[in-house]
Chains A and B, each alone.
Chain A
Amino acid sequence: MPPVLKITRAVAKKTRAALLTLPRHRHGRGKKCRALTPSAERMPRVFDNEPLREGRPSETPGASCGQARTTHATRQQGGCSAGAPRDTRTHPLEWDAGSPAVAVVVLNWKQPVCFGAVWARSQFRVVADGGADRVFHDVAASYVARSQREGVFADLATVRKRLMPDLVCGDLDSISTEAGEFYKREGVEGEPQGGAQASGSAPATREGIPAARARPSPQCAT
Chain B
Amino acid sequence: MRDLSIDQDTTDLMKCLSAVSEWVQGRGRAVRTVVLGAFGGRFDHVMGNLWALHRFVGEDILLVGDGNVARLLPPGESRVRVLRDTEGPECGIVPLLGRARVSSQGLRWDMDALELSFDGIISTSNLADADEVHITTDVPVLFTLRCALADLLE
Contact = CB atoms under 8 A, between A and B. Distances in A.
Contact of A199 (B10, B24, B34, B37): B10
Contacts of A65: 27
A131 interface: yes
A89 B18 contact: no
B7 A69 contact: no
Contacts of B85: 6, 8
A58 to B, nearest CB: 14
Interface of A: 6-9, 12, 35-38, 65, 68-69, 71-73, 75-76, 83, 85-94, 99-115, 117-118, 122, 124, 126-131, 134, 138-139, 142, 145, 167-174, 180, 183-184, 188-199, 201-202, 204-207, 209-211, 213-217, 219-220
Nearest to A203: B9
Contacts of A71: 30
Contacts of A217: 3, 5
Nearest to B27: A65
A86 B78 contact: yes
B41 interface: yes
B149 A113 contact: yes
Contact of A134 (B32, B37, B55, B81): B37
Contact of A102 (B31, B37, B76, B132): B31
Interface of B: 1-20, 22-24, 26-41, 44-45, 48-49, 51, 55-56, 60, 62, 64-66, 69, 71, 73-74, 76-81, 83, 85-86, 132, 134, 147-154
A216 B7 CA distance: 11
B136 to A, nearest CB: 8
Contact of A72 (B10, B28, B41): B28
A198 B18 contact: yes
Contacts of B64: 93, 112, 114, 118
20 contacts: A65-B27, A75-B30, A83-B76, A85-B134, A88-B71, A88-B78, A88-B81, A89-B80, A102-B34, A105-B34, A109-B38, A109-B65, A111-B152, A112-B149, A129-B12, A171-B15, A190-B1, A196-B4, A202-B10, A207-B8
A105 to B, nearest CB: 4
B3 to A, nearest CB: 4
A142 B154 contact: yes
A174 B45 CA distance: 14
Contacts of B35: 104-105, 107
A89 B79 contact: yes
B81 A94 contact: yes
Given A6-B85, A88-B60, A112-B64, A106 B3 contact: no
Contacts of B56: 199
B5 A172 contact: yes
A197 B15 CA distance: 9
B78 A35 contact: no
A86 B79 contact: yes
B22 A122 contact: no
